């Protein structure tokens, strides 16, 4: 008989038992209106609420929709797996699973709190992304944590089939889309480049963007929101996702059609101008993007010249998996418009 995991105990206590316990104090820190919308509270429960947990605050993530409940269940399983992994010095940066509560028949998860402010807070400060030094520091922080995490969780090596898997997922989600075949051609080119090489599968965060990285005193102190994680996946996923998301929003505070401060030749023109600029154009941001990707590939024992093929596959993955249809379609169209390769002399020699 299969043992029921602690996270899915058939009779968990109610979320109200913790939120409204005598002496409990809390604050709502995040909410959304997405299809998988959730509300996140930081709560200081009564002392000794968790005999094997923290004496201070805990985080409670409560689903608003059935889709959100599914995401919370996925995150719970991932957090339990992370709790069993040997993360070494990274362990304090990952929330620890404590309990699953009942929220009107849906699961709510309770975890420890990791300190720090989201990297997005600094990212959106005036001129932050217009200057090389703070941007270089962001890339260095994200890349450094990720390399340590991938080394700590590396498993069996295998031939890289990521781009082909992404292509299948894109075709399943977007049958009949007018740009589907063009996107498939780019993913086929990425697959031809990547499938010649092998790398270790690792644990994967699945949504490794700057909004999920917490920073304090110049270092990453927390990595949150593991609902898209995998126990054994392609490490290129996290590597590429950070670079693409970082470039996507560099024009966020620029009026449409106007030049983006600090980035010569970049204007806010349609969706993904920052991604195209970071992957294809010349400038200090492009230099940092390519350096970050190449260092990440080198850390995985892969040729640094695979960076562009990996970026194409990463765009395809967002097109296949993003929970917002418009956002996903925009990535599909962006992928379809990109060249197969950035520069002829940047191809790997395999």
Q: Quick one: fold of 117-346?
A: Aminoglycoside 3'-phosphotransferase; Chain: A, domain 2 (3.90.1200)
Name the 3-class secondary structure at 221.
strand
Distance between CA 68 and CA 33 in Å, rounded?
11
The region, left, alpha or beta by phi > 0 then psi within -120 to 50, assigned to residue 254 is beta
Length of the chain: 350
The pLDDT of residue 206: 97
Do residues 119 and 139 lie in contact, with contact meaning Cβ atoms separated by under 8 Å?
Answer: no
Domain locations in the chain? 6-112, 117-346
Low-confidence residues in the chain, pLDDT < 50: 1-10, 344-345, 347-350
Outline where 156-261 has alpha helix (H). 162-173, 180-194, 236-248
Question: Cα 92 from chain centroid?
Answer: 19
Contacting residues for 217 by C-beta, under 8 A, at least 6 apart: none
- Give the side-chain half-sphere CA count within 13 A for 153: 27
Q: What is the pTM of this model?
A: 0.92
Report the 10 Å Cβ neighbour count for 292. Answer: 24
The pLDDT of residue 47: 72
Distance between CA 245 and CA 77 in Å, rounded?
25
The pLDDT of residue 342: 74
The DSSP element (H or E) to which 26 belongs, if any, is: strand 25-31
User: Over the stretch 271-309, which tens digit does the pLDDT of each residue have?
Assistant: 999 999 999 999 999 999 999 999 999 999 999 999 999
Look up tokens 């498993």; give the residue.
155
- Pairing assessment for the beta strands 157-159 and 198-200 based on DSSP bridges: antiparallel
User: Over the stretch 21-42, which tens digit does the pLDDT of each residue have?
Assistant: 887 777 877 777 677 788 998 9
Contacting residues for 43 by C-beta, under 8 A, at least 6 apart: 18, 19, 24, 25, 26, 57, 58, 59, 60
Outline where the chain has alpha helix (H). 15-19, 66-84, 119-123, 132-153, 162-173, 180-194, 236-248, 273-280, 284-299, 307-321, 325-337
CATH of domain 6-112: 3.30.200.20
The pLDDT of residue 3: 39
The pLDDT of residue 144: 98
User: In which order are the strands placed within the sheet that holds 97-103?
Assistant: 25-31, 38-44, 58-63, 106-112, 97-103
């Amino acid at each position: 008989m299969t043992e029921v995991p602690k996270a899915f105990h058939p009779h968990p206590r109610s979320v109200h038992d913790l939120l409204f316990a005598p002496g409990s104090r809390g604050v709502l820190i995040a909410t959304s209106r997405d299809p998988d919308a959730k509300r996140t509270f930081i709560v200081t429960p009564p002392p000794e609420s968790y005999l094997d947990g923290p004496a201070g605050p805990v985080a409670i993530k409560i689903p608003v929709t059935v889709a959100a409940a599914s995401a919370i269940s996925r995150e719970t399983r991932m957090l339990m797996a992370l709790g069993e992994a040997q993360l070494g010095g990274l362990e304090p940066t990952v929330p620890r699973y404590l309990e699953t509560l009942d929220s009107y028949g849906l699961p709510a998860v309770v975890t420890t709190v990791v300190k720090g402010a989201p990297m997005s807070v600094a990212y959106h400060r005036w001129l932050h992304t217009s200057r090389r030094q703070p941007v270089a520091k962001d890339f260095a922080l994200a890349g450094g944590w990720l390399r340590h995490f991938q080394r700590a969780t590396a498993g069996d090596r295998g031939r890289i089939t990521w781009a082909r898997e992404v292509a299948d997922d894109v075709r399943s989600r977007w049958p009949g889309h007018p740009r589907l075949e063009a996107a498939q051609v780019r993913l086929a080119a990425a697959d031809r480049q990547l499938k010649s090489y092998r790398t270790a599968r690792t644990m994967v965060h699945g949504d490794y963007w700057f909004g999920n990285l917490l920073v304090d005193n110049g270092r990453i102190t927390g990595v949150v929101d593991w609902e898209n994680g995998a126990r054994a996946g392609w490490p290129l996923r996290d590597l590429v996702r950070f670079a693409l998301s970082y470039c996507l929003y560099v024009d966020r505070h620029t009026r449409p059609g106007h030049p983006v401060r600090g980035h010569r030749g970049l204007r806010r023109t349609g969706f993904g101008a920052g991604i195209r600029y970071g992957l294809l154009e010349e400038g200090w941001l492009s230099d940092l993007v390519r350096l970050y990707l190449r260092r990440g590939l080198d850390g995985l024992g892969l040729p640094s010249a695979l960076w562009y093929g990996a970026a194409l596959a990463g765009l395809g993955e967002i097109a296949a998996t993003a929970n917002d249809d418009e956002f996903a379609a925009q990535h599909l169209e962006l992928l379809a418009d990109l060249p197969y390769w950035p520069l002829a002399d940047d191809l790997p020699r395999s």
